[in-house]
Amino acid sequence: MQRTKLFLIRHGETESNSEFRYKGQEESPLSKQGITEAKRLAKALKIVPFKAIYCSTLSRSIDTAKAIAKFHKGLTPMAEEGLMERYYGDFENKTFNELKKEYPKLYKQWLYCPNQAPIPNAETLEQLQARGIKAVNKIIKKHAGETVCIVAHGGINRAILFHFLGLTLDNFFRIKQDNSCLNIIEVDERGPMVALINSTAHLGEKRINFEGRY
């Protein structure tokens, strides 16, 4: 039975994350904390036999993927546009507090009914999920039976996970995606199985043995 394993990761903390600011598809470099997180994550994953490493085209994802690739000789992160974060339209580059003041009703709707919140000029959650799953399915097809690393973002990770869990996008905020977190999705002929969600054990003193035990 061929089993494909996807290690789905969120990038390390960025300067905008620490400011509670939506960046979406705008650039925001890793913070000092984010660089440290990426290094710890990379060390925890050095024993995993990755056949490929994919990331989004944004630098925070690329830099996290590069940290992981340092422990995997011969692998270079491959950027995939379909893995980019959601485009947040008029919410881009605004802090949570700014949005509360400028769009009080809409921001509340976004927090409690995310799939129904019409953020001006933004990509919808359905569009986000569709392009994310298209990118992931392409990776699965190319790497059937292999273990692959995918470094993306909080929003698109949620959309991908909800697809494999069979949950609707109305549940968007019911799964956490902390910076440098790890999710594991396994796929074989029986279908997908989500084996791990939002693990950050590698960021503390304790370590998880990712060689089959998670």
Q: Is the dihedral of CA 56, 159, 13, 37 positive or negative?
A: negative
Condensed to tens digits (0 to 9), the pLDDT of residues 182-191 reads 999 999 989 9
Supply 119's token pair. 């953020």
Q: Write the CB contacts of 89 (distance below 8 Å, at least 6 apart in sequence).
A: 119, 120, 121, 122, 123
Q: What is residue 210's predicted lDDT score, i.e. its pLDDT?
A: 43
pLDDT number for residue 177:
96
Q: How much is the average pLDDT of 60-73? A: 97
107 marked as part of a ligand binding site: no
Q: Which has the closest alpha carbon to 28: 140, 161, 153? A: 153
Q: Is 134 exposed, middle or buried (0-12, 13-18, 19+ CB in 10 A)?
A: exposed
| CATH superfamily for domain 4-85+125-203 | Phosphoglycerate mutase-like (3.40.50.1240)
Instruction: Kindly tell me if the per-residue pLDDT of 1 is higher than 70.
Output: no
> 204 pLDDT exceeds 90?
no
What's the rounded mean pLDDT across residues 99-116? 95
pLDDT at 211 over 90: no
Active site residues: 11, 85
Give per-residue pLDDT as tens, 165-184. 999 998 999 999 999 999 99
Q: Is 40 annotated as a binding residue?
A: no
3-state SS assignment for residue 138:
helix
123 assigned binding-site residue = no
Mean per-residue pLDDT, 12-38: 94
Instruction: Give dist(CA 14, CA 21) in Å, integer.
Output: 10
Q: What amino acid occupies position 197?
A: I
Q: What is the pLDDT of residue 2?
A: 86
CA distance 41 to 43: 5
Task: State the pTM of this model.
Answer: 0.93
Ranges 54-63, 138-147, 203-212: which has the least confidence? 203-212
Q: What is the pLDDT of residue 8?
A: 98
